[in-house]
């Protein structure tokens, strides 16, 4: 009998085995009841401490801005007991969908949500997605090394059947060749019905060999948008190993008070890819350029760093970040968790930030070496820890608006519009340069920076829609507004709607 602490749900499931003697049943019953009581107490405690923290922390930045608290249901994954398993949906499957995700953890996460939605819409059987092992990060982790695969399959069973592998009879060994293709990016449900579904007339298995941004941001039926959210916020849980260590990190931080999670995307791959060398030595700039040439799928090779930077396309440097945090009103007492891998240039590049904010920590300084050991060569598992801490932080600040920044931003909106400061990098580099050459005094600089970010704190809004320019409009997973607001008060919360929902 399984008595592992995997939540009340699982235990209830195992309960009705007919051969269990009465006394054992009674013990089970008592256990389940006490679990429920304990869980309830825990939930109360967490809620109280969260209220206290968020109240306390708002003091630091309410000079800049305060969010009006809206009567939203705060659906925080941490404070919710798992819901009972839904009954499986009964449908005739049109075939198997196999998918190979590409990119880093958060790009793949969004893609998994898209692919579940596609499989549901076309009445397919989804095979547990394969993760990218050849991306820059070269993480050999499989789906089940990062996500709780049983929870993923079970919690979605009222929508779509998910299996661990394609049945043997469809394998190559038996002479079966499956159709392999990348679906067209930013497509809506019509593409999948008209172009993809007919392929299942001939093929029982279809393999999508690329999955990034495969569903459009807008124009999908609301129930499909909601399913994307349900996968993202409920069905995708990290493995217990990751969850436990992530919660430990969060606890350690919260014990010392409220904290900012700074996604300091000043990492080697980012700089090589973007061509941003501001603040680097000549040797470093050379090294980054060599790396860019070494990666064939980074198409742009010749890049003028200054141009990039003035267009707002560079990640902020640690030095720039330090000034901006100070201008935003954070002081030496602020606890800052750096959610990132290795900072390019190491401690030397962090010196200025550290002297302005002595309470800087990261997972490597909070955890013992052997606790992180198991994650060492698994960048996606490391990224999962940073993801958890970033979602749980009191304020989240990304220095580059990439996939992690966007997906975490959306998750925080979903968790009750927690504050995310979305830095306007184009404006910032202009202000930074004007402050540096003496055009702007410190006070003018501070005023300008605060003013520029008043409306960029992750407050409730609708996604910006730009027809035919999906890359430029707001990303669905950064602001899934369909899932953040129910009923008639949506216009009050998000502003009037003029989108063209089908
Ligand atoms: C599923 O639906 C089909 C057709 O409606 C029905 O014949 C079958 O009994 C159902 N199966 C289950 C397990 O409910
Ligand atoms: C999917 O199955 C449902 C019944 O469960 C049916 O109404 C619908 O038309 C099917 N859709 C496709 C694309 O097969
Ligand atoms: C995906 O499949 C298509 C068609 O078979 C092929 O041309 C392409 O190279 C594949 N892409 C990847 C990333 O495997
Ligand atoms: C990680 O990989 C490096 C080199 O690929 C290897 O030397 C090291 O032992 C690995 N560490 C762990 C914890 O597996
Ligand atoms: C200061 O920098 C700004 C922005 O780069 C520039 O527009 C301005 O001309 C500079 N002023 C001086 C006095 O150098
Ligand atoms: C609504 O329409 C106005 C003006 O036509 C436009 O500026 C705004 O971006 C639109 N909003 C959305 C959410 O499409």
- What is the Cα–Cα distance from 442 to 419, expressed in whole angstroms? 25
Structural domain contains residue 1: no
User: Where a domain ends, among 235, 267, 285?
Assistant: 235
Are both 219 and 276 inside the same structural domain?
no
Q: Measured from the CB, is residue 436 less than 6 Å from ligand 5? A: no
According to the model, what pLDDT value does residue 44 have? 56
Are both 173 and 258 inside the same structural domain?
no
389: phi then psi, degrees, rounded to nearest 5:
-65, -40
Are both 346 and 485 inside the same structural domain?
yes
User: Where a domain ends, among 235, 261, 282?
Assistant: 235
According to the model, what pLDDT value does residue 227 have? 98
**The CA-based dihedral angle spanning residues 252, 256, 257, 260, taken in that order and rounded to the nearest 10 degrees:** -60
Are both 172 and 254 inside the same structural domain?
no
The residue whose CB lies within 8 Å of the most ligand 3 atoms, and thus the one to mutate among 183, 203, 209, is: 209
Q: Are 184 and 191 within 8 A, CB to CB? A: yes
**CA of 498 relative to ligand 6 center, distance in Å:** 6
Structural domain contains residue 86: no
Structural domain contains residue 62: no
The residue whose CB lies within 8 Å of the most ligand 3 atoms, and thus the one to mutate among 101, 108, 111, 181, is: 181
Edge-first strand order for the sheet with 395-398 is 360-361, 335-338, 259-263, 395-398, 419-420
**CA of 312 relative to ligand 5 center, distance in Å:** 17
Structural domain contains residue 161: yes
Atom of ligand 4 nearest to the CA of 377: 1
Q: Which residues contact 212 (CB under 8 A, 6 or more apart)?
A: 101, 102, 103, 107, 110, 111, 185
Are both 254 and 361 inside the same structural domain?
yes
Are both 303 and 449 inside the same structural domain?
yes
Q: Are 216 and 502 within 8 A, CB to CB? A: no
User: Where a domain ends, among 168, 201, 235?
Assistant: 235
Residue having the nearest C-alpha atom to atom 8 of ligand 3:
181
Are both 181 and 208 inside the same structural domain?
yes
Number of domains in the chain: 2
According to the model, what pLDDT value does residue 498 have? 62
User: 475: closest CA among 422, 419, 399?
Assistant: 422
Structural domain contains residue 33: no
According to the model, what pLDDT value does residue 51 have? 44
Residue having the nearest C-alpha atom to atom 10 of ligand 4:
377
Are both 450 and 478 inside the same structural domain?
yes
Helix residue ranges per DSSP H, 209-339: 222-230, 240-255, 268-274, 282-294, 305-310, 318-327
CA distances from 403 to 76, 191, 231, 242, 486 (A): 21, 25, 17, 20, 26
Q: What are the b/e assignments for 386-412, b being 16+ CB within 10 Å?
A: bbbbbbbbbbbbbbbbbbbbbbbbbbb
Q: What is the reported pTM?
A: 0.83
**CA of 113 relative to ligand 3 center, distance in Å:** 21
Are both 191 and 280 inside the same structural domain?
no
Q: Measured from the CB, is residue 473 less than 6 Å from ligand 6? A: no
**CA of 123 relative to ligand 2 center, distance in Å:** 6
Are both 151 and 275 inside the same structural domain?
no
**Kindly report the CA angle at 226 between 225 and 230, in degrees rounded to 5?**
125
**CA of 117 relative to ligand 3 center, distance in Å:** 22
- What is the Cα–Cα distance from 392 to 260, expressed in whole angstroms? 10
Are both 250 and 226 inside the same structural domain?
no
Are both 214 and 266 inside the same structural domain?
no
**Kindly report the CA angle at 118 between 461 and 132, in degrees rounded to 5?**
90
Residue with tokens 């970010």: 453
Structural domain contains residue 115: yes
* Three-state DSSP class for residue 175: coil
**CA of 234 relative to ligand 4 center, distance in Å:** 33
Structural domain contains residue 291: yes
Residue having the nearest C-alpha atom to atom 7 of ligand 5:
434
Q: Which residues contact 450 (CB under 8 A, 6 or more apart)?
A: 64, 327, 328, 329
Structural domain contains residue 217: yes
Q: Measured from the CB, is residue 498 less than 6 Å from ligand 6? A: yes
Q: Are 106 and 383 within 8 A, CB to CB? A: yes
**Positions in the chain whose pLDDT score sits under 50:** 1-21, 33, 41, 46-48, 50-77, 500-502
Its domain, for residue 311, covers 240-494
């Amino acid at each position: 009998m399984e008595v592992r602490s995997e939540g009340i749900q699982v235990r209830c499931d195992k309960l009705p085995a007919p051969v269990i003697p009465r006394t054992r049943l009674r013990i089970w019953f008592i256990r389940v009841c006490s679990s429920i009581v304990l869980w309830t107490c825990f939930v109360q405690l967490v809620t109280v401490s969260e209220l206290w923290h968020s109240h306390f922390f708002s003091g630091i930045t309410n000079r800049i801005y305060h969010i009006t608290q809206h009567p939203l249901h705060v659906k925080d994954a941490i404070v919710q007991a798992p819901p009972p398993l839904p009954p499986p949906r009964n449908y005739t499957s049109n075939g198997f969908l196999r998918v190979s995700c590409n990119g880093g953890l958060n790009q793949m996460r969004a893609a998994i949500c898209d692919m579940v939605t596609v499989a549901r819409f076309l009445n397919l059987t989804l095979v547990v997605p394969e993760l990218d092992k050849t991306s820059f990060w070269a993480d050999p982790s499989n789906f089940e090394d990062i996500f709780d695969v049983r929870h993923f399959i079970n919690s979605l069973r009222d929508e779509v059947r998910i299996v661990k592998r394609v049945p043997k009879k469809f394998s190559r060994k038996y002479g079966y060749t499956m159709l392999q293709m990348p679906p067209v990016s930013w497509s809506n449900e019509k593409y999948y019905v008209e172009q993809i579904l007919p392929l299942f007339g001939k093929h029982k298995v279809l393999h999508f060999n690329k999955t990034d941004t495969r569903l459009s941001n807008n124009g999908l039926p609301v129930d499909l948008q909601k399913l994307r959210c349900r996968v993202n916020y409920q069905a995708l849980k990290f493995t217990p190993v990751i969850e436990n260590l992530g919660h430990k990190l969060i606890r350690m931080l919260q014990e010392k008070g409220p904290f900012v999670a700074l996604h300091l995307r000043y990492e080697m791959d980012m700089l090589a890819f973007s061509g941003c060398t501001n603040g680097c030595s000549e040797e470093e700039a050379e090294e980054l350029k060599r790396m860019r040439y070494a990666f064939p799928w980074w198409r742009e090779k010749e890049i003028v760093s200054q141009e990039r930077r003035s267009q707002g396309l560079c990640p902020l440097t640690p030095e720039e970040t330090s000034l901006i945090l100070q201008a935003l009103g954070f002081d030496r007492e602020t606890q800052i968790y750096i959610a990132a891998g290795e900072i390019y240039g190491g401690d030397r590049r962090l010196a200025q930030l550290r002297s302005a904010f002595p309470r800087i920590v990261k997972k490597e300084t909070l955890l013992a070496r052997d606790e992180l050991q198991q994650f060492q060569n698994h960048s996606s598992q490391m990224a999962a820890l940073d993801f958890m801490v970033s979602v749980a932080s009191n304020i989240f600040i990304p220095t580059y608006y990439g996939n992690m920044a966007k997906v975490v931003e959306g998750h925080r909106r979903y968790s009750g519009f927690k504050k995310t400061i979305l830095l306007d990098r184009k404006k910032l580099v202009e202000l930074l340069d004007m402050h540096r050459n003496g055009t702007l005094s410190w006070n003018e600089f501070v005023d300008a920076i605060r003013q520029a970010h008043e409306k960029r704190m992750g407050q409730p809004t609708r996604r910006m829609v730009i027809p035919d320019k999906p890359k430029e409009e707001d990303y669905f997973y950064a602001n899934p507004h369909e899932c953040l607001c129910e009923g008639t008060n949506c216009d009050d919360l998000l502003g009037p709607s003029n989108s063209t929902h089908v």
